[in-house]
Amino acid sequence: MKLTNFNELYENFPDERKARIQAKVAEMSKIIEQHNEPEQVTIDGNIIAWLKQSGDDYQERVNDILSEMMLEDLSRHADT
């Protein structure tokens, strides 16, 4: 099962919400620029096993899941 990608999720938001998300992203961009190197994280074995059930692209799925969560979080904060 392929998760919806970040751009597809974003495109479904109304223009007003997109503008608020863009403002939040711009605000965060300075922080993001300082942390553009790949990072290593520790993920529990049961989560890795679950991700690997869908195939060898489990690392891409981790990024997809986290990107989706980031967009949802930015959207929530754009409404405040």
**pLDDT tens profile 32-67:** 666 667 788 899 999 999 999 988 888 888 888 888
Query: Residue 30 pLDDT > 60, yes or no?
Result: yes
What SS3 state is found at 28? helix
Q: Write down the pTM of the prediction.
A: 0.54
Q: How far is CA 62 from CA 24, 31, 37, 74, in A?
A: 23, 21, 17, 18
